[in-house]
Amino acid sequence: MTSLFPVLTADEAAALVNDQDAVSFSGFGHAGDAKAVPLALARKARALHEKGQPFAMRILTGASSGHVIDEVLAEANAVCWRAPYQSGRALRSQINTQKVQYVDMHLSHLPQALAFGFFGKVDYAVVEASEVTPDGRVFLTTGIGCSPTFLKYADKVIIEINTRQSSRLREFADIVVMPRPPHRDPIPITHPLSRIGVPYATVDPRKIVAVVENDEPDNSVAFTPPSEEGLKIAGHLVQFLVEERIKDRIPYDFLPLQAGVGNIANGVMAVLGTHPDIPQFTMYSEVFQDSLVDLIETGRLKGASATALTLSPDALTRVVNNMDFFSDKIVLRPQEISNHPGIIRRLGVIAMNTAIEADIYGNVNSSHIYGMDIMNGIGGSGEFTRNAYLSIFMTPSVAKQGKVSAIVPMCPHIDNNEHSVQVIVTEQGIADLRGLGPMQRAKSIIKNCAHPLYKEYLYKYLDTARPGHIPHNLSACFELHENLLNTGRMLPDLKLP
């Protein structure tokens, strides 16, 4: 299988990479991420730094990646630039202190940006696979992400053969790499389970400079059970969808769903999947999470399209051990297809994503604290929100025992604006913003979504706002955020329960 290619240790492969090289790693949300070579690169960085020599890389992945890339490499000071998404505490700190330059971008845009050289050349692609053939077919594992594009455009390629991952995972893969515009035909996906590609990525075999073996599992962890707040959010949302179906605003046989990453989204899917008034449904989404395994097994979820299996080890084992059942019910695509705006619009996807905060007019921040410090990034939420049949954002109304309100007068950073956001849900209730002018939106959000601790402040803000199409008090619009920075709570005099 690999005899035609140099078989190296991880350290030998890492020795090929130079300071300031641009290195793209496979992986999407801890699924199918390169594992052995990034660890070796961290060891190399520490050893060189101890000798006073520089070593840092420009790093690309599909989205967030494994613990090694966003934590271990960052702790080794081996990252100088990062795109398009991250989720590591160490790397986040370095980005927020300007030690690492970070490009936060829509995930489906990455393949085209890379193909046209917007970021310069890619020196190496390090990609996990279960097999690479002499003619350059690369069978990916649990994540597709941007790996097909990395393999096509990187100057040199290192393949990590993961002997732990099942070779049958290739049965989920449906891989196609988009040609450059304007030479693009319509994408013939008319159903979430439509298949248009092949089960492997391809690479020019002459570019493969190393094959490294590893047997490490994905580092995905099981989500915790939804909190009481999360269950209330799920209840409000499911009841809303049921009523929309009764009103014939959602077809009787329902529409494909998309759910963001995390415990709230995972909990919503679990509740939605057991509600008697929600029919069998499909998903067209980014990731396939634990709750969906149960839903497919019970027949509630007919099938799902995604770009990665972000499953806990136990859930992945259940899937792999029952591939005859699951193989025709899950499709894994490159992220430029899983997040493609035209397909999302065509299928009429209902998008459900999580927010850090929303302002009273319906603008949503899902990536920054105080408008300044990055948490993770926008990811794919914007691609689904802008193009969905229904765009929904979910968040608890308060955080940190009430010290922080998720409903604020104005978001200092906006990822998804009022023109795209249609519904906001907290544990307090749901605000349907469709067809409402700014003042109507503000009153609906405060009434239905804001926590009682903050309603008086928000109504008072409206009363003091300068009249206009979108009324604001510019001297006070960020008062809550300034209080939070200075005192650790948005309303310093507020008596918390």
**Residue 401 Ramachandran class (φ > 0 left, ψ -120 to 50 alpha, else beta):** left
Which residue from 73, 218, 77, 120 is spatially nearest to 86, judged by alpha carbons? 73
Which residue from 141, 128, 119 is spatially nearest to 60, judged by alpha carbons? 119
90: its two tokens: 């160490």
Is the separation of the CB atoms in 95 and 59 below 8 Å? no
Is the separation of the CB atoms in 38 and 125 below 8 Å? no
In the block, which residue shows the tokens 């829509």? 106
Is the separation of the CB atoms in 197 and 169 below 8 Å? no
Instruction: Tell me how far apart the alpha carbons of residues 396 and 405 are, in angstroms, rounded to a whole number.
Output: 9
Whether the upstream peptide bond of residue 84 has omega within 30° of 0, thus cis, is yes
In the block, which residue shows the tokens 């409000």? 236
Is the separation of the CB atoms in 219 and 34 below 8 Å? no
Contact residues for 83 (Cβ-Cβ < 8 A; gap 6+) = 59, 60, 102, 103, 104, 105, 110, 119
* Catalytic position from the list 286, 383, 418, 427: 286
Q: How far is CA 13 from CA 19, 126, 218, 267, 294, in A?
A: 14, 10, 21, 41, 40
129: its two tokens: 């696979």
CA dihedral 267, 268, 271, 277 (to 10 degrees): -170
286 is catalytic: yes
Query: How long a stretch of residues is the chain?
Result: 497
Instruction: Tell me how far apart the alpha carbons of residues 418 and 361 are, in angstroms, rounded to a whole number.
Output: 7
Which residues are part of the catalytic machinery?
286
